[in-house]
Structure 1
Amino acid sequence: MGAQPTVSDVAVAAGVSRQTVSNVLNSPGIVRPETRERVEAAIRSLGYRPHASARRLRTQKSSTIGIRLDPLTRDGISGSVLDRFLHALTEQADALGLRVLLFTARDPEDEIEQFRRLSDAADVDAFVLTSTFHGDPRTEWLIEHGQSFVTFGRPWGIDDMADPEHLWVDVDGRAGLRAATEHLLATGRERIGFLGWPAGSGTGDDRRAGWLEAMRAAGTVPEDELAALQEEAEDGVTPGADAMRRLSARFGGAVDAVVCVSDSLALGALTAAAGRLSVIGYDDTPVAASLGISSVEQPLDEVAAGVLDLLTGAHGGRVQPGAGVGDARHRLVVPHLVVRDGAPLTPPR
């Protein structure tokens, strides 16, 4: 028996995008009649049909959700975020009578193999994905194979941002770093630096945009200086300290404060600045709390609740037409800035 046709096969046959095929399958009312008829003809011609397992959550028959257990991080700081999310998800799933099955994978390709194995054996009825990234192949595979899933994180850099078959919940990192920067500006800081991950990280770029919006709105630094106020580093305390030293050397110590895309970078910045600088991190990890570092808190209980709602509610891991809820396919949760007195808040120079 040959391979079953996929959504992509239908898209090619009909001369439309994969997202258009998804719209015809899930929200046909938003597709022009002539386009819908062309897609439906391709579906009939190819004999395409969604995988049966994709319907189980929708009909309330499933009881198991699969999620990869992320590897331990070297500094043990940033990894605690996903650990807390997993705890919240498991606790809330249990209250709904659902089980969470953990599995490991070396990389995205290995994770896809795990999807295949678990779905073929009917061990799980849906998946929750974390750590989404530009060009993520995992979501493509799940959509093409008709699997129910929700991602914690937006589909960065691929054709899924508004795809009705890709349900996602994310935290508004742009709003979080904007709030952190605005807080520092309100305390009299003017030259506020930014420590981020290398460009191309969807999450990191989104948080960088929040800092940039706040700085441009404040106008305390000329536009041509904003690029010089940014430093990139791989996540970790030591890279954060090195990036802070580079930033300080560039301005001869005339940086009032820094906001960072993670608590790991924030701790490194604080170490390099030897307590002479205001620093705000991101993730509000236990390390930040214990050291008194201000940080942006991700409301992981809300994220877990959103993920489970999309999996077990009217959507069942997929979109149901006529759900009656505006943009219910995607949830963007607002984070909270936690200001602590323990972080150095020296008077601006």
Structure 2
Amino acid sequence: MTRQRRSGGPTILEVARAAQVSRQTVSNALNAPDRVRPDTLRHVLAVVDRLGYQPNRMARSLRTRSTRQIGYRLDPDRSGTASVLQDRFLHALTTAAESADYLLLLFSAGRTSDEFTRYADMLRTGSVDGFVLSGIDPGDPRPGWLAERRAPFVCFGTPDPGGSAEDLLTVDVDNVHGGEMAVDHLVERGHRNIAFLGWPPTSGPGEKRMQGWQRAMRRHGLAPDRCVRALDTVSDSTRAALHLLDASPAPTAVVAASDTFAMGCYVAARQRGLDIGRDLAVVGSDDSPTAAVVSPALTSVRQPLDEIGRTVMRLLVGRLQNQPPTDTHVLLEPQLVVRESTGQV
């Protein structure tokens, strides 16, 4: 009697036979590659790829007590902004997670108390292996809450020093340097009266970008005395930019803490009959898709989101595998993308 092959893809046993190794070696190659000799690992993975073998995620979860899922809270929807930073970071994080054979479990929470309830539910039910936090601002209670419960997590952003746990894992962008790069570029273009438009002091990235503006202004012998704060919406940033432009003397350039603030400068300039790039130079931050398509195109400080996603997952997977981290606080460099909005004086 001929045995019928079951429908579907190959089994792990068939992969082992094709590779001429044990079933355990195939399992180790897929789940614990550090236990397999490099040449054997390459051979087994090549056979896995050739046969198109797909591990049964549910069975592996039961066997290893690992869900291969990472929890991530979506930020509340913010209408009236030009920023799609979360969307781009989420895409980068998803790609990095899939490369490490993890899936993202997304959830929303309107209030902090609701978010803690979701964290507690997922920890109690074992729905995820760990978490990624973003949108870290001064006084953020989430890192401390998760650390107290010994939940694995990595922060995109830097919490208050000493406010949570000694072994925090963080990935951040050097926002201070980003603010400095914006000022250095404007000074190089001949500007001396450079204002700053940003968030209230509760924003961690915003404060660092402002500190970079202040530091560079002083380094160039300029007074950092034109700073206006507003909410990160086009309407609020337009009103704040009008306040700057109606001052005497008005600034010839503005460093904006986000591309949304920069769009407010565009609207305000047009209301005052000024041309962006000729009468008023503007530098944004985050290099949103809007920056490249608005007219004139916006000079903006870009965050290396793909590298951030990869680094966050590398740190988190290492923690999940109980590997001592080689670096606990990774600070990545931003890039200034120069376009038409920063003309010569």
Q: Residue 70 of structure 2 contacts residue 104 of structure 2 at CA under 8 Å; is this kept in 1?
A: yes
- The 3 A distance-change label for structure 1 pair 133 and 344 is closer
Q: 1:190 to 1:312 in 2, by over 3 A?
A: same
8 Å Cα contact 1:194-1:260 kept in structure 2: yes
Asked whether the 8 Å contact 1:135–1:158 carries over to 2, the reply is no
Cα gap change, 1:193 to 1:76, in 2 (>3 Å): closer
Displacement of 1:76 after TM fit? Answer: 4.3
Distance (whole Å) between structure 1 residues aligned to residue 111 and residue 174 of structure 2: 26
Match of 1:306, as an amino acid? T
1:114 aligns with 2:118: yes
Per the alignment, residue 22 of structure 1 pairs with none
**Which of 147, 151, 156 is 2:151 aligned to?**
147
1:69 matched to 2:68: no
- Measured in 2, the distance between the counterparts of 1:317 and 1:178 equals 38
**Residue 279 of structure 2 corresponds to residue 307 of structure 1:** no
Shift in alpha-carbon separation, 1:65–1:182, aligned structure 2, 3 A:
same
Which residue number corresponds to residue 196 of structure 2?
194
How far the C-alpha of 1:206 sits from its partner, in A, is 0.6
- C-alpha contact (below 8 Å) 2:302/2:336 kept by paired residues: yes
Return the offset for 1:240: 1.4
Distance 1:237 1:207, change over 3 A: same
Shift of 1:201: 2.0
Residue 265 of structure 1, aligned match among 261, 268, 280: 261
Compared CA separation, residues 281 and 318, structure 1 to 2 (3 A): farther
Matched, 1:251 2:256: no
Report the TM-score when normalising by structure 2.
Answer: 0.75
- Give 1:279 deviation, angstroms: 0.2
Deviations 1:189-245 (A, max 9, x none): 1111100111232221111000011100001x3x4xx22x11111111111111111
- Which structure: larger Rg? 2
Matches within 5 A, 1:119-198: 119-156=123-160, 159-160=163-164, 163-198=165-200
Aligned to 2:293: 290
Provide the identity percentage: 39
State how 1:76-115 maps to structure 2 within 5 Å.
Answer: 76-78=81-83, 80-115=84-119
SS of residue paired to 1:250:
coil
In structure 1, what is the Cα distance between the partners aligned to 2:307 and 2:342? 30
Query: SS state of the match for residue 74, structure 1?
Result: coil
- For 2:24, the equivalent position in structure 1 comes to none
**Deviation of the 1:100 alpha carbon:** 0.7
Alpha-carbon RMSD across the aligned residues, in angstroms, is 1.9
**TM-score, normalising length: structure 1:** 0.74
Q: Which runs of 5+ in 2 are unaligned?
A: 1-60
Name the aligned partner's letter for residue 202 of structure 2. Answer: G
Higher relative contact order (CA 8 A, sep 6+): 1
Deviation at 1:64, TM superposition (A): 0.6
Residues 318 and 142 of structure 1: CA distance in aligned 2, closer, same or farther (over 3 Å): farther
Q: SS at the partner of 2:128?
A: coil
Superposition misfits of 4+ residues, deviation over 6 angstroms: none
Amino acid at match of 2:328: R
What's 2:338 paired with? Answer: 339
CA distance in 2 between partners of 1:245 and 1:183 (Å): 23
**How many residue pairs get matched?**
274
Instruction: Name the aligned partner's letter for residue 317 of structure 2.
Output: T
8 Å CA contact 2:283–2:298 kept in 1: the answer is yes
Partner of 1:42: none
Q: Residue 289 and residue 158 in structure 1: after superposition, are their counterparts in 2 closer, same or farther (change >3 A)? A: farther
